[in-house]
Structure 1
Amino acid sequence: MIDTLASADTTVWLSILVKTLAYAATLVAAGSVLVLLGLRELTEDARGALRRMAMIGALAAAILSVLRVPVRASFLMGGSIDGAVDPMMLGVVADSPLGASVIVRLIGLALILAIFLPVRGAKWVALVGALVTCASFALRGHALGDPRLLLGTLVTVHIAGLAFWLSAFAPLARASRKEPAVKAGELAHEFGMKALWIVAVLIAAGAATLILLGATTPDVLATPYGQAFVIKLALFAGVLGLAALNKVRLTPALQAAAPGAAQRLRRSIVVESALVLAILATTAALTTVTSPPHERTGMAPLQPKTVQTAATVSGNLPWGS
Structure 2
Amino acid sequence: MTPDPALLQPLLDLLAQTDGWTWLRVLVAAAFYACALVAVGGVLFGQVFGHHPGLHRAAGLRPLVPAAAGLALALLLLQWPLQAGFLGGGTWAAAFDPGLLALVFDGATGQRLLLAGSGLLLLQAFWIVSGRWRGPAAAASLLGAALVLLAFTQVGHSTGEPRALLAALLLLHLSAVAFWIGALIPLYRISGPPQLGEPATRVLQRFGLVAAPVVAALIVAGLWLAWRLLEGWAPLLHSAYGLVLLLKLTVLGLLLGLAGLNRWLLVPALVAHAPRARPRLRASIGCEMLLVALILLLTAFLTTTASP
Tell whether the structures are fold-level matches, with TM greater than 0.5.
Answer: yes
Contact 2:55–2:190 (Cα < 8 Å) also in 1: no
> Letter of the aligned partner of 2:280 in structure 1?
R
Aligned to 1:70: 81
Equivalent position of 1:15 in the other structure: 25
Give how far 1:214 is off: 4.1
The equivalent position to 1:241 in structure 2, one of 257, 282, 289, is 257
Contact 2:55–2:199 under 8 Å retained in 1: no
Alignment-derived partner of residue 219 in structure 2: 203
Higher alpha-carbon deviation: 265-274 or 154-163: 154-163
- Structure 1: unaligned runs, 5 residues or longer: 293-321
> 1:305 — aligned with what?
none
| Mapped pair 1:188 → 2:199 | no
Q: Which secondary structure state, in structure 2, belongs to the residue aligned with residue 121 of structure 1?
A: helix
Is the aligned partner of 1:138 residue 2:149? no
Q: In 2, are the aligned partners of 1:215 and 1:221 still within 8 Å (CA)? A: no
Give the helix-richer structure, 1 or 2. 2
- Percent of counterpart pairs with the same letter? 37
Determine the C-alpha separation between the residues in 1 that align with 2:49 and 2:194. Answer: 16
CA contact (8 A) 1:143 1:155 kept: yes
List alignment gaps of at least 5 residues for structure 2.
Answer: 1-10
Give the AA of the match of 1:287: T
Q: Once superposed, what is the RMSD of the aligned Cα atoms?
A: 1.7
Once the two structures are overlaid, the 10-residue window that deviates more, 205-214 or 105-114, is: 205-214
- Mapping of residues 105-124 of structure 1, within 5 Å: 105-117=116-128, 118-119=132-133, 120-124=135-139
TM-score normalised according to structure 1 size = 0.86
Moved more, 269-278 or 170-179: 170-179
For 1:82 and 1:116, the matched residues in 2 are separated by 38
CA deviations 1:137-188 (Å, max 9, x no partner) are: 0010101000111111111111111111111111111111114444332221
Count of residue pairs the alignment pairs up:
292
Q: CA deviation at 1:121?
A: 3.0
* Aligned position for 1:310: none
Residues 50 and 56 in structure 2, CA contact (< 8 A), matched pair in contact too: no
Q: Match of 2:61, SS?
A: helix
2:176–2:214 contact (8 Å) kept in structure 1? yes
1:272 is matched with which residue: 288, 296, 301?
288
* Alignment match of 1:33 (pick from 22, 31, 43): 43
Matched, 1:99 2:110: yes
Change (3 A) 1:40 1:190: farther
Q: Normalised by the size of structure 2, how large is the TM-score? A: 0.90
Deviates further, 167-176 or 268-277: 167-176
Change over 3 Å in CA distance of 1:73–1:134 after alignment to 2: same
Q: CA deviation at 1:109?
A: 1.0
Amino acid at match of 2:179: F
Per-residue CA distance 1:257-306 (angstroms, 9 max, x = gap):
111111001110111111111010001111111113xxxxxxxxxxxxxx
Q: By how many angstroms is 1:62 displaced?
A: 0.5
